[in-house]
Amino acid sequence: MKRIFASSLLAVLLAYLMLLNAGCSTYPSAAEVGGARGAAAGAIAGQAIGRDTKSTLIGAGVGAVGGAVLNDQRARYRGY
């Protein structure tokens, strides 16, 4: 059980670092920041709820999309 959790956590952290590193040359857009934060939060929530890799990946995917959309809309509303 601990090995699966450690592998899932490692995969999520690597994905998070890749998303952060993708925009190094310029400032990341609001959608990119929201997607990265949403993916991290979704992966943690998915692991806590489902306690398996499938739930973690589903949570990360849903969180990334949701975070990107919500943060992009919020930035547009504020005029960024």
DSSP line for 12-66? HHHHHHHHHHHT-SSPPPHHHHHHHHHHHHHHHHHHHHH-SHHHHHHHHHHHHHH
User: Residue 1: what pLDDT?
Assistant: 64
User: Residue 23: what pLDDT?
Assistant: 59
* pLDDT above 80: residue 56: yes
Give the predicted TM-score (pTM) of the model. Answer: 0.64
Round to whole Å and give the CA distance between 5 and 17: 18
Q: Mean pLDDT: which of 11-20, 21-30, 57-66 is highest?
A: 57-66
* Confidence bin at 15 (pLDDT 50/70/90): confident
What is the domain count for the chain?
1
Host domain of residue 70: 2-78
